[in-house]
Amino acid sequence: MRAPGWLVAVPVLTGAAGGAAPLAADLLLCTAALVTAGLLWRAGGRLSGGPRGWRLLSLAVLLGLGTSLFAGLLLDPPPEGVFDATGQLVQLPAALLALVAVLTLLSPGRLRRGGARLATETALFFCASLVLAQVLVVGPAMRTQPLEGADRIVLEVACLVTASVLSAVLLLIAASPGPRRCAGALLLLAAATWATTHGLAIAGEELHLSALDGAAPAGELVALLLVCLAAVRDPGAHAEAPPTRASSRLNVVGQLLPHLVTVAAGVAYLGAPLLGADPSPAATIALLGCLSLTAVHRATAARVEHRVAARLRRSEAYFRSLVRSSSDAVLILDGDLRIGWAAPAVEPADGPGLRGRLLPHAVHPEDAAEVTAWLTGEGSDGDVSGLRCFRLADRTGVWRVFEAGVSDLRGDADVAALVLHCRDVTARLDREHELRSLAFVDPLTGLPNRAAQRLALAGLLAGADDAPTDAALLLVELHGLREALENAGSEVVETTLAEVARRLRATVRGEDQVARIGTELFSVLAHGTGDEHDRLAARCLAAIEAPIVTDAGIVDLSGAVGLVSLEPGLTEEQAVDRAELAVVDARSAGSGSVRRYRAELAAARDRREQLREDLVGARERGELALVWQPIVALDDQRVTGVEALLRWQHPLHGEVPPEEFLPVAERAGLAVDLQRWVLQEATAAALTLPRDRGELKLAVDVSAAHLAAGTLVGDVTAALRDSGLPPERLVLEIAESILEVDALADDVAALRLMGVRLALADFGSGRSSLPALGRLQVDIIKLDRSLLSRVDRDPYSRAVCQAVVALAATLGIDVVAEGVETTSQLTVLHSLGCGYAQGFLLSRPVGLAGLVQLLESDTGRLWPGLTGRVGAS
């Protein structure tokens, strides 16, 4: 706090007081006392909120002013040279109240923490002050006139009270927190000034020193000024702040002051006889008390020092044990990076220790430059922070890795060093290396796995952005592993994969990466120019197709390779996606094929993805419809049945062929829902067809997904119930490729019990279906178009068809030729005895209205060359 402006005028007034008239000096002192009392009262309210401390001191100032005015106005002054006992007596109440006020400012808790040492120092200061008072004040007064009785008692009490006030203020300095010591020092100066002024006033009266008369008002004004400054600077009894240099010095002065005053008292006591004055018995007793208290203080200080030293030793031993037992290592470095202290965890057992060595010379030579740059702050504007790793030799001489953080305590006067907190991370790094091996290495072949391949690919593509490189990604797909697993077992497959990995690694260049990224899939990140990548793919296929000798025999494999060039700007995901499209294209081309990525592959994939997304909700949007293809009896050339076929009119791509969107529907899980809808719509529409020449059969395809779902029987039952179509009119066509479905036999039996007829479709397109005819009871065989394509010009195909027709006749099964497109095919089939046919030659698939028109024209006859045929509308 800043002192009020009126305090600046006090020294000026103080200097003028000596030369002013006595009345003017008294008025000035009265005004200063009143102002000081008001300021102290205000400070007491600010700090303590009640009439304590500074407010009691304010009352003491007012009491002193009142008693002085009372003595000056009502009592006659004593003759010159006579001790003014009454004047001293009237000041005692104010001094006692000031003593109480100072004691009130003290904190009891801090007094208790001061202990015996603080009490001894205060008592020593009190006794030394009494010695000085006896020698310098009482002695001169006794020499000029004998003081007996009440006068002597008043003088001795005044000395005691003055010494008590000074001791209380000294106690305030020693027992107060750091921020309050400055206010205590000012208050001590004020008390000392007041005591000196009154002591000199008494000595001046007794020694007839008239020159001291003018110094009394000036001393009192200075004392009032110092009291005001102390009140202004006082932060309160509970103020806490970090220790400052000024507060530390005041603490030292507070501890030394009792001894300095004791020395001054001894000098004054011994020098009194030289000036012709004998010390009083009270002075002698007080001096003996000083000597005794000095001894007590020394003993108390020794006990405290011993207790502190023991506590320090225990604390040092405690922390030394913690440091020694800690797994973390601590290094303390000076400004030159020289090791001043090293924890036992990093000290070698034999040979020279680390202490005294430069840290850059102690670490691994490869880490020295980095450690020096880190700890000297090079390149970081002198900032020493962060974590670094370096290697230090352990007790056996093995290099171990330490992770270190630094605390820069060079600005701390107690440490003045860099402190490195080191942790041995060697085991952690070893575990991380093992985990990295598990995460990035295929355990069977020892090759990098998919994650490692992705990291290498990302790094290669990042380098290609800066400097284009001729590199390519090859995906090598193995064919034949499943057969080897079924025939020879998993151990042979593992041996085979390990041999394939060895061969591929021996085929590529040293800088190329071979990785196993799937059960049957390897990848190669290859470098080269021109057609080297294609030649490498051919060599990889040759290495795979070479026979592999195992304990269980020879394993023959084949493969397909997809290849994509790594162009600048290509991302990791795009490169992998293109390579997968290329290998799918190579698989479709057959084993031993190599295919490069083409933009058409991505376009086809994107079209499939769009169809998959658009197929959801296509039925609700009215994009799906049924078309009907007639089935004609060859003996009377009339339509005896129709096959319901699903069509999709896409709003963007137009009419999408069934062979394109039905596989998409199966992969998307929509096939069963679509076929359920076809059953419902077809059975309902069949009842609206003309019935002039008997009731037409309705044929509907059944997919493998519908059979696998286990809902076929229930869906057929619901469709027949909702539409009212007789079960005998419904024909379910089961493709030859799904004869191996487990639930097929049970479903066939249930459907036949319902009266539904079954047809074996696509007969002759795959493996022989003849064994299935003995297990399943079917009503119709539909010859596949692939078997009929050469029946009119290939004797072998004609013989096969004739055999099937004969077998069907023996079993009582109807035969329908599917995909008839020429009159010669129709003529041959008729001659072979085939009963029914359907195809573009007879009629393309038509809508429901076109089918009705076809059935109503020419009494339902449908034969090539007949008039009245309708188109596909």
For 828-843, what is the mean pLDDT? 90
> Per-residue confidence at 873, pLDDT binned at 50, 70, 90?
very low
The residues that bridge with 330 in the sheet, in sequence order, are 421
CB 626 within 8 A of CB 606: no
| DSSP code at position 791 | T
Q: In this predicted structure, what is the pLDDT of residue 36?
A: 83
CATH of domain 625-648+664-860: 3.20.20.450
Find the helix or strand (DSSP H, E) in which 604 lies.
Answer: helix 599-615
Query: Residue 537: what residue type?
Result: A
Find the helix or strand (DSSP H, E) in which 733 lies.
Answer: strand 730-735
CB count within 10 Å of CB 568 equals: 12
Please list, in sequence order, all residues whose beta carbon lies within 8 angstroms of the beta carbon of residue 686, skipping any fewer than 6 positions away: 642, 696, 698, 723, 725, 729
Q: In this predicted structure, what is the pLDDT of residue 144?
A: 65
Q: In this predicted structure, what is the pLDDT of residue 1?
A: 34
> Per-residue confidence at 744, pLDDT binned at 50, 70, 90?
confident
Separate counts of helices (H) and strands (E) for the chain: 30, 21
Q: In this predicted structure, what is the pLDDT of residue 6?
A: 32
Residue whose structure tokens are 């045929």: 869
CB 706 within 8 A of CB 700: no
Please list, in sequence order, all residues whose beta carbon lies within 8 angstroms of the beta carbon of residue 68, skipping any fewer than 6 positions away: 90, 91
CB 655 within 8 A of CB 647: yes
CB count within 10 Å of CB 325 equals: 9
* Among 24-33, 285-294, 575-584, 694-703, the least confident range: 24-33
Rounded to 5°, angle at Cα 349 from 343 and 350? 130
Question: What's the pTM value of the predicted model, to 2 decimals?
Answer: 0.53
Tokens of 464: 């290609």
Find the helix or strand (DSSP H, E) in which 638 lies.
Answer: strand 638-650
Provide the CB-side half-sphere exposure for 455 (13 A, CA).
8
Q: In this predicted structure, what is the pLDDT of residue 521?
A: 94
Instruction: Report the C-alpha gap between 95 and 166 in whole angstroms.
Output: 11
Instruction: Report the C-alpha gap between 683 and 832 in whole angstroms.
Output: 33
For 213-236, what is the mean pLDDT? 77
* Short-list 217, 179, 233, 227, CA closest to 60: 227
Condensed to tens digits (0 to 9), the pLDDT of residues 381-428 reads: 666 777 888 888 877 778 888 888 888 888 777 788 888 888 888 888
866 has a pLDDT exceeding 80: no
Three-state secondary structure of 752-769: HHHCCEEEEEEECCCCCC
For 505-523, what is the mean pLDDT? 92
Instruction: Report the C-alpha gap between 471 and 392 in whole angstroms.
Output: 42
* Among 5-19, 30-44, 654-668, 795-809, the least confident range: 5-19
> Per-residue confidence at 862, pLDDT binned at 50, 70, 90?
confident
Tokens of 2: 């800043």
Range list for CATH 3.30.70.270 in the chain: 448-513+530-597
Q: In this predicted structure, what is the pLDDT of residue 475?
A: 94
> Per-residue confidence at 536, pLDDT binned at 50, 70, 90?
very high
Tokens of 728: 């005998």
Range list for CATH 3.20.20.450 in the chain: 625-648+664-860
Instruction: Report the C-alpha gap between 584 and 593 in whole angstroms.
Output: 11
Q: Which is more confidently placed, 847 or 212?
A: 847
Q: Which is more confidently placed, 873 or 630?
A: 630
Range list for CATH 3.30.450.20 in the chain: 326-431
Q: In this predicted structure, what is the pLDDT of residue 117?
A: 79
818 has a pLDDT exceeding 80: yes
Condensed to tens digits (0 to 9), the pLDDT of residues 824-835 reads: 989 999 899 998
Q: Beta strand pairing status for 399-409 and 417-424?
A: antiparallel
| DSSP code at position 570 | -
Encode 291-320: b = buried (16+ Cβ within 10 Å), e = exposed. eebbebbeebeeeeeeeeeeeeeeeeeeee
CATH of 326-431, one of 3.40.710.10, 1.25.40.10, 3.40.50.10860, 3.30.450.20: 3.30.450.20
499 has a pLDDT exceeding 90: yes
* Short-list 642, 646, 647, CA closest to 629: 642
Cα 510 to Cα 505, 526, 529, distances in angstroms: 8, 10, 16
Condensed to tens digits (0 to 9), the pLDDT of residues 458-473 reads: 888 887 555 456 889 9
CATH number 3.30.70.100 is the correct assignment for the domain at 448-513+530-597: no
> Per-residue confidence at 698, pLDDT binned at 50, 70, 90?
very high
207 has a pLDDT exceeding 60: no
Q: Which is more confidently placed, 537 or 250?
A: 537
Find the helix or strand (DSSP H, E) in which 445 lies.
Answer: none
CB 643 within 8 A of CB 699: yes
